[in-house]
Amino acid sequence: MLKRRMRYLSRYQDILTALYHYGFGQIVRDLGLLDKTRQRKKKKKNSDDELSVAKRIRLLCEELGPTFIKLGQLASTRSDLFPTHIIVELEKLQDHVPSFSFEEAKDIIEEELHAPLTELFQSFSEQPLAAASIGQVHQAELTSGEKVIVKVRRPHIQTIVSTDLAILSDLTELAEDRIEWARRFRLASLFNEFADALREEINYATEAKNAERLFRQSSDTVHTSVPPIFPTHSTRKVLTQAFVEGKKITEATFDKGYDQDLIAERFATGLFEQIFVHGFFHGDPHPGNIFVTEANEIQLIDFGLVGRLTSDMRQNLALLVIGLKSRHTDKVMDALLNMDIVHEEVNRDRLRDDLDTLRLKYYDVPMSEISLASAIQDMFAVAYDHNCIIPPDLTVLGKTLLSIESIVSHLSPTLRIIDLVEPFGKKLIKERYDPRRIARKTQNEFLDLVQTVRSFPKELHKLLKVTRGGKLKVSISVSEINDLIHKFDRISNKLAFSVVLLSFSIIMAGVIIGGALTAENTILTQIPAIEIGLTITSLMFLWIIWAIFRSGRF
């Protein structure tokens, strides 16, 4: 326990010192943790202060190791959050780590698979094909003779990542307490999103499930496939998958005997089918994860990051494409509302105005020349400017579309993405108005309504119990407070009006009754008290009525 605590504190200092060293000392000061940093020797030349902010962020991530590199790579998918120059720099993040020894890899495999390596594999290459911060890859051959690749997780990586994430969780929460921009940026929530994605990525069991699902999906796709996983040889630390023979997609060129136009079409069509038909897609289709066989067939690898789109999300995406194509702002707005991107606190009139400005940007541009990925990214940027919350899977979709367009434009510049995506869009639109789909949706909504009605008495009982206990909380916005004050003014003015009338009536009644009951001459009878009182009271009455009506709150 003490050793773990000391490791935590030491790593805490490492992170703060690195932040200070790379020019982010103001953040450390704002956190009140400047005294936790260590002293470093100054560099002779090329001070980090001379580097751009984006480069300093990349260097910081690379120095702090696996956790920060992976978080940086995940952040590079969020073009809705970070400016382009930072995204470009984060995409350059590389794992500059040496491979770990064959003996360590062998020990991990044997411990995880509960058998000697010689019984598990007919042959196993001691030299890894590639090494990264999370793990490394070895080529092997099963006892059945099938060629495979074996990914082995790096020793102690779970401890390293867990420690770093715990420290970063503390720092982001502290930042939201003490720094205004961190609060506005919802830093803790954003970090938690990235942390969850990283935990999934270092768990090879999750990647195996993703690969198996995509493998089943690819059985319906003609020219795009996913190599099968071998579950008996896979765990959370070891992943065994069929070996892929072929060229990286960007290296499959005409001069090497490949058909670039055909490859580009098959690649884009395969990914669009994953996105728009199945709603489960490869979330990181960069060139290193896409291979091409000699027959121009596409094979995908590395499924640590995937995207998911529900049926409703895909239908709303179709509505979004329709709105873009028809340049109809209200349809785009409806799609954003249906996707739950626009929350209640968003000024919808201003958002609609900004979307209308975006529509004008594309107004005179032929649809064939519009980049679908760029248009969606522009839309997300507008949504983010209004503090809308974009679901992570939609940002993964935006990143995937950008990757598809980049690879297709490299392989076949004349191929138009919109022509490839249009059939899927039409299919989604057709499904949207399919009577069977409408009937199913109506049935589900009816069942939800029945469930709501059934649970209403129980929920009402809970509400009454909370109310009786004096624990009912009421949230009122500024606009609601103004409305409340307005209503109180109206009530108080009406009350004043009633009091004045009552007072007027009592005074007059008292004077008249007093004069009638006495026959003696008094000072009161000698003075026209009734006339004077009536005049004064009438003037006061008229003045109050005028003041109330002038306020406009009657």
Strands, sheet with 298-300, edge to edge from the N-terminal-most edge strand: 224-225, 298-300, 290-292, 247-248
Q: How far is CA 32 from the centre of its chain?
A: 29
The set of residues, in sequence order, having a beta carbon less than 8 Å from that of 391 and lying 6+ positions away, is 313, 339, 340, 341
| Cα–Cα–Cα angle for 444, 448, 454, rounded to 5 degrees | 145
Q: Measured between alpha carbons, how far is 140 from 132 in angstroms, rounded to an integer?
A: 18
Burial class of 212 by CB neighbour count within 10 A (0 to 12, 13 to 18, 19+): middle
In terms of Cα–Cα distance, which of 44, 46, 49, 54 is closest to 22? Answer: 49
Q: Measured between alpha carbons, how far is 302 from 285 in angstroms, rounded to an integer?
A: 9
CB 223 within 8 A of CB 292: no
Helices (H) and strands (E) in the chain, counts: 22, 11
**Rg (the chain; Cα; Å):** 35
Token pair for residue 310?
């529900």
Pairing state of beta strands 238-242 and 306-308? unpaired
Q: How far is CA 244 from CA 100, 227, 522, in A?
A: 23, 7, 120
Burial class of 180 by CB neighbour count within 10 A (0 to 12, 13 to 18, 19+): exposed
The set of residues, in sequence order, having a beta carbon less than 8 Å from that of 394 and lying 6+ positions away, is 313, 339, 341, 380
User: Rounded to 5 degrees, what are φ and ψ at 155?
Assistant: -60, 140
**Dihedral sign for Cα atoms in the order 29, 33, 34, 35:** positive
Q: How far is CA 179 from CA 20, 23, 46, 457, in A?
A: 17, 17, 30, 44
Q: Measured between alpha carbons, how far is 390 from 380 in angstroms, rounded to an integer?
A: 7
Q: Measured between alpha carbons, how far is 234 from 108 in angstroms, rounded to an integer?
A: 12
CB 117 within 8 A of CB 110: yes
Percent helix, strand, coil in the chain (nearest 5)? 65, 10, 25
Residues with catalytic annotation? 284
Provide the terminal-to-terminal Cα distance of the chain, rounded to the nearest Å: 70
